[in-house]
Structure 1
Amino acid sequence: MKNSLIVILALLVSACAGIPANSDYAADYDFKGVTTFAWLPQPGIDGAGIAPDLDNDLVRQRVVDAVDSQLAAKGISKALDGIPASVLVTYHLGKEEKVNVSSFGSWYTYFGYYPCYYCGYRPGYRSSFGHGHFGQGGFFDDEISVRRYEESSLIIDIIDAESKKLVWRGTSKRRMPNMETPQERRQYIQESVAAVLLNFPPGADLAP
């Protein structure tokens, strides 16, 4: 069972290698002393009017399960009831609509148009000559493409249990794909969590 878990986590680490993530931490904090953790109650949801698909028990449980697995793989176990933990953990989710605007040239003729990505100049009229015959004249123009997509953000905070001060924060933002099944949503969260916690604790590798 343990070997299977290690294999799964190794695959997740490989998958999250291309997911953008960064972290900040207290340089004077002794992360070597972090051996146990406990969850702060009610993990937070960031952003005004956050969609219900981020603020529900199913999503919360997937995030908690993913964080638990990643920390366990690093040798940091969940504190038993009644026993103080080394650190406290919480997370924040957000979602934002993004707009991507791009342009490309088009070559217009009497017979219609087609995209012209490598035209030397535009807009304007141009007659083409080639292979010994007179080519069809036309016009260059710019096409504008507008694509809307959603970007999710995940923040994981590590707080010193005694001082209640933030000692580590990891963040990731990535484009949200279309997810139709619980398995796809679970994998998306697992990959995001693995990317955020990849370098926690600072300077530490995954436990064998």
Structure 2
Amino acid sequence: MRQYLIPFVLFTIFLTGCAAKPEVSWDYNQQINWPLMTTWAWFQPGRDNDNRILSLMAQRVHWQVSQDLAAKGLQEVPAQQASLWLSWGFTEKSKLQGTSYNSGFYSSGFYYGPYPWMMTNWPSEVVVNSYEVGRLTLNVIDPANHHVIWQGIASQRLTSDMSPEEQREYITTSVNSLLEKFPPPVDYIPQGTPQ
């Protein structure tokens, strides 16, 4: 039985590693001449922007976005000079997950054959747990008409009592994944778009 336990443990580790990566979706306006969009600024609604207080999360998001866009050759400029405005948002949503547990190798008279596919009437119980999923949304806005012309959403499972280091890693991973395909490639067409 031990020979089947090792692959199962490795598979579990693999799934755990995959779960750390956010699920990302993108959409954008194909009418935009993206290669010409080389300057950007944060969207600043209202007039009292000098008195804004940036949370720690906002500071991390702003810093990581700035780093990623600079690496792509986009320059941050004052809002009046920018060809793109950026805004972001964050929401949390509770989800449920069911996990089945084997209640024993030889319980209740059930028989386990020498191979996994010979197991019959495997006794198990299902435990349902709730967990939180964070959604980081990044919007790119056309300053001329205030329309969203690009949007990316990164969904990732949250852990309780995240340390500052874990929160920085969460933001870094989410922003990197969001901006992986920004600016969008010329030949990219969102799924479900009529051709």
1:149 partner SS: strand
Cα offset, 1:76, TM superposition: 0.9
Q: Which has the larger radius of gyration?
A: 1
Contact 1:179 1:185 in 2 (8 A): no
1:108 partner SS: coil
Is 1:25 matched with 2:28?
yes
Gaps of 5+ in 2: 1-17, 46-53, 110-115, 187-195
**Corresponding residue of 2:93:** 96
Cα offset, 1:31, TM superposition: 0.7
Q: Structure 1 residues 159 and 99 mapped into 2: Cα distance closer, same or farther (>3 Å)?
A: same
2:107 partner SS: strand
1:27 partner SS: coil
Paired residue type of 2:64: A
In proportion to residue count, which structure has more helix? 2
Percentage identity across paired residues of the two chains: 28
Contact 1:155 1:170 in 2 (8 A): yes
Paired residue type of 2:95: K
**Corresponding residue of 1:45:** none
Cα offset, 1:178, TM superposition: 4.5
Paired residue type of 1:67: V
Choose which of 74, 92, 95 in structure 1 pairs with 2:72: 74
Is 1:201 matched with 2:183?
yes
Cα offset, 1:105, TM superposition: 4.3
Alignment partners' CA distance in 2, 1:146 and 1:93: 26
Query: Equivalences for 1:167-186 in 2 at 5 Å?
Result: 167-178=149-160, 180-186=162-168
Cα offset, 1:179, TM superposition: 5.2
Alignment partners' CA distance in 1, 2:179 and 2:108: 55
**Corresponding residue of 1:145:** 127
| TM-score of the two chains, using structure 2 as the length reference | 0.68
State the Cα RMSD in Å. Answer: 2.7
Contact 2:61 2:171 in 1 (8 A): yes
Query: Equivalences for 1:23-172 in 2 at 5 Å?
Result: 23-41=26-44, 57-80=55-78, 83-106=80-103, 107-109=106-108, 120-122=119-121, 141-172=123-154
Q: Deviations over 1:112-166 (max 9, x none)?
A: xxxxx867332xxxxxxxxxxxxxxxxx633112222211111100011112111
Paired residue type of 2:33: D
Cα offset, 1:202, TM superposition: 0.6
Q: Deviations over 1:187-208 (max 9, x none)?
A: 210110010110000118xxxx
In proportion to residue count, which structure has more strand? 1
Cα offset, 1:180, TM superposition: 4.1
Contact 1:91 1:156 in 2 (8 A): yes
Q: Structure 1 residues 32 and 18 mapped into 2: Cα distance closer, same or farther (>3 Å)?
A: same
Cα offset, 1:108, TM superposition: 2.3
